[in-house]
Amino acid sequence: MLKKQNLTKAALPFLLTNTIKLLKTPPLRRHIANILKPLLFLGIGLLLVWWSLKGFDSDARTKIVLALKEANYFWILVSMGFAILSHISRAMRWQMLIECVAPKPGLTNSFLAVAISYLANLAFPRMGEITRCGIISRYEPVPPEKAFGTVLIERAIDVFTLFVLTLLVVFTQFNVLGNYFTEKVAIPISGKFSALVFGFSLRQYLLLLLLGVLAVLTFLYVTKKFSQTVVYQKIMSTLQGVWEGVLSVRNVYNLPLLIGHSVFIWAMYFAMIYICFFSFDSTRHLGPQAGLAVMVLGSFGIIATQGGIGAYQIIVAGVLALYGVEYTLAYAFSWLVWGSQTVLVLVGGFAAMVALPLLNRQKQLVASQQAAG
């Protein structure tokens, strides 16, 4: 027994030392960081869920459950249909951009790649963009770096559209949303901006300037020194492919159609929200203005946490309360909308993962035979 205890004591320092060494290796550190990042966002979301539920007493929670039971789920199914239409339109818009830099991919593969990208975004923030580029390059003759450039253009279009819609909502409904937007969005952002711009001393500004100059000089030195290496050439080739994808928007054969798809996608996002108003008696009376406000401000909640969990519910419930909906019922509405779309993403994403290899089996078989021949 004493011998076993001595062996255990001797083994503990050895295990501890080697574990620390293992954790310090760059590949493992990267893997740990990749795992912790989505867990952090998910943790923030779950914390927000707990914080929002903490304010409800048992009667309010009972009312939320009862509202979910009595909801008309027909309109939720219609909302899911609008979501699928938006995914199809997004796939068609992506086709148009890819066609400018590579052979046009099939609509089915493009749509399934988009469906999987939404699923990937639930697991890892911004992973969906990379995932769908890898998928489309696997099943279609599209270089992944060029596909990624087109996705960057797509994201830029969506950000610009959201910005325009945010301005539209704030200025047209300032009497309802003015105080909410000022307290929840404008003041926090302006406070952070002021701290960033005016929170440094002259010495700190000079230090930042010096560091910036050193960074530029270091970049120029490294670029010149390694410009003839294979690794450098590979990196530059990849970046050039990404840039070609970004510039694809200049060569779109039908720009009005591209704009039309962008408008249609956001129109479907609006319809997804507005049609759900008819699921509850408490929201049935709300007009399109409320639907637009929920869609726009709720989008920021989806960006804030993993899959929007927690943040989306708080923002949507808060907005609906401004339109006279009882907060507990507004909270039930937010969970139903978020839950239905999350279920659609999960089911659609996993179905797409199964369908892609099956639908492309014949194509891959022919390609392998041609390569062998």
Residue 135: inside a domain: yes
Q: Which two tokens stand for residue 266?
A: 């956001």
> Please, which pLDDT band fits residue 279 given cuts at 50, 70 and 90?
very high
Look at 12-16, 281-285, 294-298 and tell me which has the smallest mean pLDDT. 12-16
- Round to whole Å and give the CA distance between 245 and 131: 16
Q: What pLDDT is recorded for position 229?
A: 65
Q: Which two tokens stand for residue 335?
A: 């969970």
| CA atoms within 13 Å, Cβ hemisphere of 346 | 8
pTM for the model: 0.73
Q: What pLDDT is recorded for position 121?
A: 84
Tell me 104's DSSP state. Answer: P
Report the chain's C-alpha Rg in angstroms: 25
Q: What pLDDT is recorded for position 346?
A: 87
Q: Are 44 and 310 a contacting pair, CB within 8 Å?
A: yes
Judged against a pLDDT cut of 70, whether residue 56 lies above it is answered with: no
Q: What pLDDT is recorded for position 23?
A: 47
Judged against a pLDDT cut of 70, whether residue 194 lies above it is answered with: no
The average pLDDT across 305-325 equals: 83
More confident residue, 39 or 104: 104
DSSP 3-state of 304: helix
Polymer length in residues for the chain = 373
Range of the domain at 75: 55-359
pLDDT in tens, 144-156: 888 888 888 888 8
Q: What pLDDT is recorded for position 86?
A: 97
Q: What pLDDT is recorded for position 20?
A: 46
Percent of the chain with pLDDT over 90: 30
Look at 42-56, 152-166, 294-308 and tell me which has the smallest mean pLDDT. 42-56
Look at 91-105, 238-252, 253-267, 287-301 and tell me which has the smallest mean pLDDT. 238-252
To the nearest 10°, report the CA torsion of 168, 173, 178, 183.
Answer: -60
- Round to whole Å and give the CA distance between 304 and 185: 12
Q: What is the overall mean pLDDT for the chain? A: 77
Residue 129: inside a domain: yes
Tell me 183's DSSP state. Answer: I
> Please, which pLDDT band fits residue 116 given cuts at 50, 70 and 90?
very high
pLDDT in tens, 67-113: 888 899 999 999 999 999 999 999 999 999 999 888 999 999 999 99
Q: Are 251 and 152 a contacting pair, CB within 8 Å?
A: no
Residue 301: inside a domain: yes
Q: Are 46 and 309 a contacting pair, CB within 8 Å?
A: yes
To the nearest 10°, report the CA torsion of 191, 193, 194, 200.
Answer: 130
What is the b/e burial string over 296-312, where b = at least 16 CB atoms within 10 angstroms of the residue's CB?
bbbbbbbebbbbbbbbb
Angle at 156 between CA 231 and CA 297, to 5 degrees: 135
> Please, which pLDDT band fits residue 12 given cuts at 50, 70 and 90?
very low
Helices 255-276 and 74-98, axial angle in degrees (round to 10)? 160
Q: What pLDDT is recorded for position 164?
A: 92
DSSP assignment string, 35-63: HHHHHHHHHHHHHHHHHHHHT--HHHHHH
Structural domain total, the chain: 1
Q: What is the residue type of 150?
A: T
Look at 153-162, 186-195, 197-206 and tell me which has the smallest mean pLDDT. 186-195
Alpha helices in the chain (DSSP H): 2-24, 26-54, 58-70, 74-98, 107-123, 127-139, 144-172, 174-181, 187-198, 202-225, 230-246, 255-276, 288-304, 311-322, 327-359, 361-372
Residue 35: inside a domain: no
The dihedrals phi and psi of 325, each to the nearest 5 degrees, come to -85, 135
DSSP 3-state of 273: helix
Residue 161: inside a domain: yes
Judged against a pLDDT cut of 90, whether residue 29 lies above it is answered with: no
* Beta-carbon contacts of residue 316 (< 8 Å; ≥ 6 apart): 294, 297, 298, 301, 330, 333, 334, 337, 338
Residue 70: inside a domain: yes
pLDDT winner (highest mean) among 62-66, 161-165, 363-367? 161-165
To the nearest 10°, report the CA torsion of 261, 291, 307, 183.
Answer: 120
- Round to whole Å and give the CA distance between 316 and 48: 13
* Beta-carbon contacts of residue 23 (< 8 Å; ≥ 6 apart): 29, 32
Judged against a pLDDT cut of 60, whether residue 372 lies above it is answered with: no
Q: What pLDDT is recorded for position 287?
A: 92
Judged against a pLDDT cut of 50, whether residue 157 lies above it is answered with: yes
> Please, which pLDDT band fits residue 120 given cuts at 50, 70 and 90?
confident
Residue 117: inside a domain: yes
The dihedrals phi and psi of 329, each to the nearest 5 degrees, come to -70, -35
Residue 47: inside a domain: no
Q: What pLDDT is recorded for position 170?
A: 83
